[in-house]
Amino acid sequence: MEIKKLLFVTKFEGLCYDALNTLLMLRHAALEHVIFLNVIERDKIAMQRGSGYLKEKEVKLKETANIRFIDWAENLFEMGLEVGAYMEVSRLIPEILKVVKKESPDLIVIGRSHKGRLKQLYAGSDVTELMRRTEVPILVFKHMMEDNILPEKLFDRPLFATNWSETDKKTVEFIKGLKNVIGEIHIMHVVKESALKSPNAHEVQKISKTERKRLEDLCDELEEAGINARPHVYVGDPQKQIERAAKEYQASMIILGSSDKAAILERWVGSISKNIVDNSVFPCLLIPGKKDI
Amino acid sequence: MNKKVLVVDDDQDVRSFVVTVLEENQYIPLVAQDGIEGFEVIEKERPDLVILDVLMPRGSGIRLYRKLKTDENLNQIPIIMFTGIALRSFLKSQKALDEFKGGEIPMPDIYLEKPVEPEELVAAIKKKIG
């Protein structure tokens, strides 16, 4: 599965050209086409007491977006990429879904605000909603440092956390399509403490050996596809261990699959993928499951 | 017989502006809002001239331009590029695509950077198709 077309969703203040720039290495994979989407939230120009519909404000916001898009588009056109742009007054998720239907992108890139906890929760729910309603992989950009420096080589050292779900098969195929941009991938599985029922060391080692063997087989599969891969087994709370592994191996991003079941569950108890997207400092590539599962 | 001019632009305001200019000057306006729809109209209507934007969803003007210029049945249709994208960037994009995809695509007949006055647009159209 190759990334030929990506949809870059921006509110400008949250996801800017530096983020787009780090994605341009995907040209070495298969990237040909970038679609920009700027959604102006309705509440910014909604009817207000005494002022009505703020048409002038809408025009101004659209023109501001247009100037930025033209500037970005010129840079991309000069590289020989195909570029398209949408500027809509709407609600974010329905508009993204509408553009996904029209353009069939291979990847959606969306930013997550770093401006305070409330904003984070709001953006996190956007991503959750999107995960629930599309099968297209979603890259959630983060501001990794306080000064917002993004990793120069975003796809160079990804960490793929597998839980051996059906969605992970799709994830593996997606990773294979990135073989020209991945330097080395770290693949991990977290054994939950609850799975280690026996206090017997031999039993624990046996579980670890089994999981390691599965990871090694997966690494072999990826190496056959031309990607260097290293396996890692961790034990404990998945969210904490994934974050820990990402730091230990200086990951450039975290790759996670997410099933429909997880999306439904997270509405009630929160899923691992949602928690990582909400709390991790690393960019997250989320691979949604098939919607007919 | 009045000549047919197709305007391909995703911006409704721009389409309205160009259509008004065309009607006032006795041309028959045709419209499309993206590169894919534009190509369909061109194949069906065979316009005498195409006024083409660059930055559009569902197939940019750059893609449509190259498609037309490499189609032996359509490559004689004159094209006026009418866009906010600077000519410099357009030329660089063509060069990059020539290198990447092979072949050399001729430059557009006329390149107008938005915004333009109606007189400038009319002069450009008259220069190409009278």
For chain A, domain boundaries:
5-111, 158-288
- Is there a contact between A157 and A185 (Cβ–Cβ < 8 Å)? yes
pLDDT on residue A116 = 47
CB contact under 8 A, B97 and A80: yes
The better pLDDT of the pair A94, A54 is held by: A94
Q: Which of A150, A224, A155 is nearest to A185 (CA)?
A: A155
Q: Mean pLDDT for chain A?
A: 81
Answer for the pair B79, B125: CB distance below 8 angstroms, yes or no: no
Q: Which positions in chain B touch A69 (Cβ < 8 Å)?
A: 55
Mutate to test the interface with A, among B9, B13, B55, B98 (most CBs of A within 10 A): B55
All residues at 6 or more sequence positions from A269 whose CB lies less than 8 Å from its CB, including other chains: none
**Taking CB atoms and an 8 Å limit, are A79 and B96 in contact across chains?**
yes
| Same fold? A5-111, A158-288 | yes
Distance from CA of A39 to the nearest CA of B (A): 15
Query: What is the per-residue pLDDT for A47?
Result: 58
Q: What is the percent of chain A with per-residue pLDDT over 90, rounded to a whole number?
A: 38
- Distance CA(A236)–CA(A190), nearest Å, equals 7
CATH numbers and ranges of domains, chain B = 4-129 (3.40.50.2300)
The Cα–Cα gap between B49 and A42 comes to 39
Averaging pLDDT over each range in A2-16, A61-75, A81-95, A261-275, which range is the top one? A81-95
Q: Quote the pTM value.
A: 0.86
For A270-288, what is each residue's pLDDT tens digit? 577 778 887 888 889 999 8
Name the fold adopted by A5-111: Rossmann fold (3.40.50)
Residue A234 has pLDDT above 80, yes or no: yes
Q: What is the pLDDT of residue A272?
A: 79
Establish whether this prediction's ipTM goes over 0.90.
Answer: no
* Architecture, CATH, for domain A158-288: 3-Layer(aba) Sandwich (3.40)
| pLDDT score for B119 | 96
Query: What is the pLDDT averaged over residues A28-40?
Result: 89
Q: Is the pLDDT of residue A293 over 50?
A: no
* Orientation of helix A117-133 relative to helix A272-279, angle to 10°: 140
- Categorize the per-residue pLDDT at A114 as very low, low, confident or very high, splitting at 50, 70 and 90: low
pLDDT confidence band for A43 (50 / 70 / 90): low
Q: In this predicted model, what pLDDT tens digit does every residue of A137-185 receive, in sequence order?
A: 999 887 544 445 556 688 999 999 998 888 888 899 999 999 999 999 9
